[in-house]
Amino acid sequence: MTRDRSVDERISAWLLEEAPDQVPDRVLQATFERTRPSRQRRAFLGWRFPMYRITPTAIAVGAAAILVIAVGVTQLPRPNQSVGGGPGPWPSASSTPAPTTRPTPSLAPISLTGQIAFERTVDGNTDIYLMNLDRTGLVRLTDDPAQDTRPGWSPDGQRLVFTRGGSGEETDVYVMNADGTGVTALTDTPEVEQGPVFSPDGSEIAFTRYVDPTFFDLYVTGADGSDERRVYHREGPWLSWPAW
Amino acid sequence: MQRDVVEAARGGDHEAFEALAMAAGDRLFAIASLILRDRQRAEDAVQEALVHAWRELPRLRDPDRFDAWLHRLLVNSCADEGRHQRRWSTEVRMIRSEPSTEDGATSLADRDQLERGFRRLKPEQRVVVVLHFYVGLPVPEIADTLGIPLGTVKSRLHYAMATLRAALDADARETVATNGQTA
């Protein structure tokens, strides 16, 4: 026991020495920037884009995406339903509610139609929005008091999958048409579903499910919610955001 | 006192939330840094946990459980950040930039061996070790915080301790062997 206590003390001392003393101010500032419900924030795409993650690979993927977008915009135009009326320019910075968005979790977040889907928080409520890459045609696709997050495109650009509920609490997987109609719940559980993503042929959707932070299951379901099946189970908190 | 602030934040008072976040920020960052062993990812994990906390506060049923709830959100955020670390064991970085010194509470040899031992732990074992030995949570409280069975926490702690003890013992054996060769 004496030896065990000694080991305990050595571990505690080591952890105390290793732990940083202070959280950098920028972390809290960035947090408050994202959570303040009524202050004006930067009206760019709203992506939180950590500079340290910019890699040559990311740059190459970005360049390829821009090329795809250019082709998509010229070849596959599509009319939009605009927020508060017909299509119009991106609102000015002074009148734009602060967007708090994160990148779409899909590796190809931009649809074949040259539009981008993203989550946006206004007055504490997060919904799914759509807009053209020239910042026109802003469309609010969902309008629900729950948090609608993490939109992901179907391969044909006709549908979106997303999560509704919240983060860290009960969330379910939903799909809808790219114009915001046909919102359908694919799951209805008290558990947390995360990271839904369409299969390459668009017929299925993979997502993770957990009840607590340490037991994760990987599920696949048909794109219509049928034939849900668990394909992987692990004990451990590090299973999330599947990809095909 | 904190209960009042939590209730205010739960009702949408952002200044109350900022006060809570500032009070918890250092602790959360320390925990995330120890679990992830990566300062930048720890910063992201803390930010995500706090943003989630703001969004989910209205759903927090018991304001007295705010700290435990926040720890759980942080563990979730660390899990999300962990997915970026494909190879846990080889991406470990030392957080402290200043050189280790022998006048600290931990010897240079202990630091090296504990770092190696910690590197071998599974993520879920790291969480339990940090919550127990750094935060100082008793085992039942860890189970309650993470929402997992008490036996699971005990098991993870047991295997984590065995790994860390083996790392320290290996160092002791090396020291004995070295001394034997020089004698």
B113: tokens are 């061996």
- Separation CA A86–CA B119 (nearest Å): 56
Q: Considering only A54-68, A173-187, A192-206, which range has the smallest mean pLDDT? A: A54-68
Digit-coded pLDDT (tens) for A109-147? 455 667 888 888 777 778 899 888 777 888 899 998 888
Digit-coded pLDDT (tens) for B65-86? 899 999 999 998 888 776 655 4
Digit-coded pLDDT (tens) for B15-32? 889 999 999 999 999 999
Does B9 reach chain A within 8 Å, measured CB to CB? no
DSSP code at position B59: G
* Residues in A touching B114 (Cβ below 8 Å): 10-11, 14
For A111-142, b where at least 16 C-beta lie within 10 A, e where not — what string?
A: bbbbbbbbbbbbebbbbbbbbbbeeebbbbbb
The alpha-carbon gap from B183 to the nearest alpha carbon of chain A, in Å, equals 26
Average pLDDT over residues A181-196: 88
Residue B1: the pLDDT is 66
State how far the alpha carbon of B131 is from the alpha carbons of A187, B50, B134, B137, B178, in Å.
33, 18, 6, 6, 35
Helix (H, G, I), strand (E, B) or coil at A131: strand
Cβ of B59 and A166 within 8 Å? yes
Average pLDDT over residues B150-168: 90
Burial class (CB in 10 A: 0-12, 13-18, 19+), B26: middle
Q: Give this complex's ipTM.
A: 0.79
- Separation CA B172–CA B183 (nearest Å): 16
**Most confident residue range from B3-7, B28-32, B105-109:** B28-32
**Most confident residue range from A102-116, A203-217, B123-137:** B123-137
Average pLDDT over residues A194-198: 89
How much is the pTM? 0.49
Average pLDDT over residues A94-121: 55
Residue A141: the pLDDT is 93
Asked if A138 and A117 count as a contact pair (C-beta separation under 8 A), the reply is: no
| Chain-centroid distance, C-alpha A90 | 22
B99: tokens are 């050189």
* Residues in A touching B44 (Cβ below 8 Å): 50
| Chain A, window 16-75: residues with a beta carbon less than 8 angstroms from a chain B beta carbon | 16-24, 26-28, 30-32, 34-37, 50, 52
Q: Considering only A131-135, B34-38, B75-79, B88-92, which range has the smallest mean pLDDT? A: B88-92
